[in-house]
Amino acid sequence: MAAALSVSPNRMELIKLKQRTALAQKGHDLLKDKMDALVMELFDTLRRIQESRAKAMEQLRKSYSALSNCMAVLGTVETMQAARQTRKEVQIEVSTRNIMGIQVPTVEIGETERNALTRGYSLHLTSSSLDIAAKELERALRLLIGLAELEETAFAIARELERTKRRVNALEYILIPRLKDAMRFIMMRLDEMERENFTRLKRIKAILEERR
């Protein structure tokens, strides 16, 4: 209330306050709409994450079992040796997309699956179990990249949602009530001044009549 009472009670101030309140209300409504839209977007993304994650995890599980199998057949050291020789040049393209003013990443990926000849490890020292493992892992990698994009998107939306919510709350619970308090204070004060004036006039009138 201390802040509200520091305004000087006059009509000019009241008009200004009215304008500010209207503006704050408008901003509040807009932000609230934005929040609703963000929530919808978030739900949508979460649903897609869930599907994508289930797929990626399943593929990853398969990949790990293929890898374990390969390590058992070929030997751990040999597998690591082959991994060291593998050509490591998977590339991704990351660009950003705009969802309601939020930057979210879009990841594009070239071909991840290769055949045994293009992977780069020596063929006569390795067995087909290594090829299988590598193939499964390449598939898993592709799915994981898609998942990473979705997760990052959800994060960005959630962060923006948090910020928006904070602003909505600040307007709704602090700024707008404060402006309304100030307006009420000015109106009361003006009414009071009017009543004072009224009694003053009455009194003057009585005095004048007495003199006559």
Q: Enumerate binding residues for another protein (CB under 8 A).
A: 39, 42-43, 46-47, 49-51, 57, 60-61, 63-64, 67-68, 71, 79-80, 82-84, 86-94, 96, 103, 105, 107, 112, 114, 119, 130, 133-134, 137-138, 140-141, 144-145, 147-149, 151-152, 154-156, 158-159, 161-162, 165
Angle, helix 11-74 to helix 176-211, in steps of 10 degrees: 170
One-letter amino acid for residue 163 of the chain = R
Distance of closest approach, residue 4 Cβ to another protein, in angstroms: 29
Residue 164 in contact with residue 35, Cβ under 8 Å? yes
* Cβ proximity to another protein, 160 vs 182, nearer residue: 160
When the beta carbons of 149 and 185 are compared against another protein, the nearer one is: 149
Q: Which of 46/190 has CB closer to another protein?
A: 46
Sole residue written with tokens 């179990």: 129
| Length of the chain measured in residues | 212
Closest CB to another protein among residues 14, 134: 134
Cβ nearer to another protein, comparing 133 with 171: 133
Q: How far is CA 49 from CA 135, 149, 153, in A?
A: 24, 9, 10
CB of 55 to another protein, least distance (A): 13
Q: Shortest approach of another protein to residue 5 CB, angstroms?
A: 34
First-to-last alpha carbon distance for the chain, in angstroms, is 49
Q: Which residue has the tokens 């997309």?
A: 97
- Are the C-beta atoms of residues 139 and 112 closer than 8 Å to each other? yes
User: Cβ of residue 56: shortest distance to another protein, in angstroms?
Assistant: 8
CB of 103 to another protein, least distance (A): 6
Which two three-digit tokens encode residue 146? 């898609």
